Amino acid sequence: MTDFIQRVLRPERPDWIIRSLLDVDFYKFTMGYFIHRFFPEVQVTFRFINRHPHIPVAELVDEDELRAQLDHVRTLRFRRTDIYYLRGMDVYGEAMFSREYLDFLAGLKLPPYTLDRRGDQYEIQFTGTWAEVTFWETIAMAIVNELVYRTLLQGMAEDRSTGESGLQILYARATDKLYHKLQRLAENPSIHFADFGKRRRHSFLWQQFAIEMAEEVVGQGLTGVSNTWMAFNKDLVPIGTNAHELPMVLTALADTNNAKRDAQYMVLEAWGNLFPQNALRIMLPDTYGTEQFFSGMSEDMAHEVSHAWRGLRGDSGDLVVEGERYIKWLTQHGVDPKEKLYIPSDGLDVEGILKLNQALGGRVQLAYGWGTKFTNDFESCHPHGNEPAVVNGKKLHLTWDQLLRGHSFVCKVASADDKPAVKLSNNVNKATGPVAEIDRYLRVFGEKGRLQQRVEV
């Protein structure tokens, strides 16, 4: 087993967080292929956003170290073996990527970033060709996350009231907690989940540890992992299809209100053309609200998508309600929901998974995307977690528990060809984009069905 304590007390120097360009979510390859094929010229900016600004990221992460980690990623290239792996993968059918795209990957160097400190936050932006910039998303997030926790753990090691024993307790409790969760899932063999926790993992090594434990405890219940490096190295199925950035960019590029409303359906059409594989045809309806997504869809498209697509991912809103809506919609279109897949993926933990299984199990196929609460649950693991945290000799206004939990960091497309990009989401608190532009989008898409929900991570 990895000696997590030693990694804190005697870290490698330099201790690179990202050591392979495969250490990204697999959907970056499927979306990247889509982008490279259909939108090779589009220029975008992705922006790192801390949705919980009371967390003082710039106090917790050393700027030089952050720059060094980001710079290191720019030295990485896909290895010959990585490209062979991507070319030879057949879990979604043979030759899923074109030679042109693999050649593009073989030459890929991640584009530059800009980094500015604004108060106790960092503004990190990535600008360049969409097909290249897109790879930064889960990489930048994993770097900021792991650097935050490294600082906290270092603070624990230096704090006389915790010290090495405190670290041991932290990891012992987190290990036990993870095991307990996995056991609860294992008790219900109908539950299948994929690890979606790469972006907000406690650390690379902890994600690896969590996956290894899941393989032992739940066995076939773990259907795969979103992290391509882990899929490659642990011989698991890489999981992922598409995300909000596709409708966000296409909608930003559309000029008229009608064109904006249509962009989300253009994504579906183009995606379906690029990927004949049923398993990759997963709708993500919530970019501008699920309700308008279904109500605005043409009957032709609804027929096609309900029959010839594998399923739907629910990433915001009440996920039981979203599932019910999908079941009802399938039934209306003469499709047996038991033949289709619903993938809830919003801030899930075991309770949520069990609740969804209770509500929807047996009525639709279910595969859970279990993320941050799988790869990064250290809440209540600190021996005195309700005391103020001390880092770099400085007492903070936040407790250890407030800081050791998963944070709501995202890295989202902010603009495309200099036009602002917006996400509305079913959850008002998950919206991103300039306020004026959000207002415009709300007029275009309406607000029906949107909720105020606490964003956990």
Would you tell me which residues interact with a copy of itself (CB under 8 A)? 79-81, 83-91, 94, 99, 231-233, 235, 237
Least gap, CB of 365 to a copy of itself (angstroms): 23
Strands, E, within 166-255: which ranges? 193-195, 222-225
Token reading at 432 = 């991103």
State the Cα–Cα distance between residues 100 and 378, nearest whole angstrom.
Answer: 43
Return the number of the residue (193 or 232) whose C-beta is nearest a copy of itself: 232
Residues in the chain: 457
Least gap, CB of 5 to a copy of itself (angstroms): 22
Neighbours of 411 (CB within 10 A): 22
∠ CA 366-367-370, rounded to 5°: 135
Return the number of the residue (87 or 440) whose C-beta is nearest a copy of itself: 87
State the Cα–Cα distance between residues 98 and 93, nearest whole angstrom.
Answer: 13
Least gap, CB of 103 to a copy of itself (angstroms): 10
Least gap, CB of 105 to a copy of itself (angstroms): 12
**338, 316 contact by CB (below 8 A):** no
Least gap, CB of 80 to a copy of itself (angstroms): 5
Residues 6+ apart with CB under 8 A from 440: none
Among residues 348, 346, 242, which one has the least CA distance to residue 25?
Answer: 242
Return the number of the residue (83 or 157) whose C-beta is nearest a copy of itself: 83
Return the number of the residue (41 or 90) whose C-beta is nearest a copy of itself: 90
Return the number of the residue (222 or 422) whose C-beta is nearest a copy of itself: 222
Least gap, CB of 26 to a copy of itself (angstroms): 13
Return the number of the residue (223 or 453) whose C-beta is nearest a copy of itself: 223
Return the number of the residue (167 or 236) whose C-beta is nearest a copy of itself: 236
Question: How far, CA to CA in Å, does 73 sit from each of 135, 272, 296, 434?
Answer: 11, 32, 41, 29
Neighbours of 239 (CB within 10 A): 25
Token reading at 115 = 């980094």
Return the number of the residue (10 or 80) whose C-beta is nearest a copy of itself: 80
Least gap, CB of 76 to a copy of itself (angstroms): 12
H/E element holding 201? none
Among residues 201, 200, 194, 275, which one has the least CA distance to residue 242?
Answer: 275
Least gap, CB of 371 to a copy of itself (angstroms): 23
